[in-house]
Amino acid sequence: MSTKIAVLFIHGVEIEDPHYAQNAMALLRDEYAKVPGADPDDLVIEAAYWIPVVARGLNTIVERSFGDGFTRWVRWLDGLVHRIDNGSYLAMVPLVVSGVLGRVPGLPKAHWATLRWAVTYFLGDVIAYQTAEGSNVNYDAIHARVDDALAKLAERAPDAPLCVISHSLGTVIASDHFYDLQHASRSSSSSALERGETLTWFYTLGSPIALWMVRYPSFDAPISLPGRTANAGAERAAEWVNFYDPDDIIAYPLRDLNAQYRRAVDADHAVHVGPPMLGRTPVSHIGYFNSRKVMRPIARRLASLGRR
C-alpha cells in the first residue's frame, strides 16, 4: 500500500512559461517508476508560477526604453527559453549566438540586445523580489502564487508529505516561504500541507541562498523540515540536498555557512548539468530541471517513503 507524495516545483528568474516544469515532472515520474514497488501515480505535482507578478513592470520598462522592436526580440528569446525548459538544448545555439551580437537590425537603441535582455530580466526579477521600504507588494504577491500551488496540492493530498524542488531565485523564495510559515504564523489554512507542517524533502538547485544570508549578520536562519519528526519512515527519508554545478557561478554550497546550516542541510551535492559543449560553463545554471542526474536521486529518495 503506498501513500500520496506532494511535489512542488518553484522556478527561478526569467521563466515566462507556465509549463516550465513539464519536462522535469516527466523525468521525475519516469525515474520514480523505475524503483521497484513505486507507483508514479503516487506523485501529486504542481508548479508555482510567480513570474507574472513582476513581468508586466519589466515589460513596460523595456518597451518604453527601447520600443516595440525590442519587445518582439524579448518574445523570441522567451520562446527559446521555453524550448530549453522543455529539454531542447538545440535552442541554446541561437540564444548563445545572439548573445555575441552587439547590434541587431531594427534595434538601434538596444545595443547587445540579448545581454540587455538577460540583465534586465534576470536582475530585474531579483530586484523586484526585494521588500521595499514601506511596501511588500511584490513579495506578498509572489508568495501568494506559492500559496495557490500549495492549495492545489492540498485539494488532492491535504496531509501528504511535501517535497519542494526549487531552482535559482526560486530556492530563496521557497526558503523565505517556509521560514515565514514556521516563524511568523502567516498561514491560517486548515491544511497541514499548506501550513508547511508536512515539508519532508527540500531540494535546492543552483541556489544563491548563501548571498541572501548577507541580510542576516549571524547567518543562522535556515528552515527546518517538520517531516523529519512526522514518523519513523519520514524521519529516515527526509532530507535537504543542495545540488550545485561547480561551473555554475550563481550556485553556492550551503553546509559550510555555519553550524546551523550544517545541521539543516544534509548534503551539498556537486553535479555536472547543462547542454553538451556548454555544460562546463556558467550556462550550466539552466540545466538542473532537465537533468536525470538531479531528478534520479530525488525520485529514489521519494520512493524510499512512497513504496510499501
Distance CA 208, CA 163 (A): 20
Rounded to 5 degrees, what are φ and ψ at 43?
Answer: -85, 120
Higher pLDDT, 129 or 296: 296
For the purposes of burial, counting CB atoms within 10 Å of the CB of 119, is it exposed (0-12), middle (13-18) or buried (19 or more)?
A: exposed
Helix then strand then coil, % of the chain, to nearest 5: 50, 10, 40
Cell reading at 157? 493530498
Q: What is the mean pLDDT of the chain?
A: 88
DSSP characters for 154-178? HHH-TT--EEEEEETHHHHHHHHHH
Domains and CATH numbers, the chain: 5-63+137-306 (3.40.50.1820)
Lowest mean pLDDT among 40-49, 85-94, 108-117: 85-94
In which residue are the cell numbers 523570441 written? 76
| Amino acid 306: pLDDT | 61
Lowest mean pLDDT among 28-32, 88-92, 136-140, 289-293: 88-92
Contacting residues for 216 by C-beta, under 8 A, at least 6 apart: none
pLDDT digits (tens, 9 = 90+) for 166-179: 999 999 999 999 99
**Sequence-ordered strand ranges (E) for the chain:** 5-10, 43-48, 162-167, 199-205, 239-244, 267-270
pLDDT digits (tens, 9 = 90+) for 256-292: 998 999 999 999 999 999 887 777 888 889 899 999 9
Contacting residues for 129 by C-beta, under 8 A, at least 6 apart: 54, 138, 139, 142, 169, 172, 173
The whole-angstrom distance between residue 54's C-alpha and the CA centroid of its chain comes to 16
**Model confidence, pTM:** 0.89
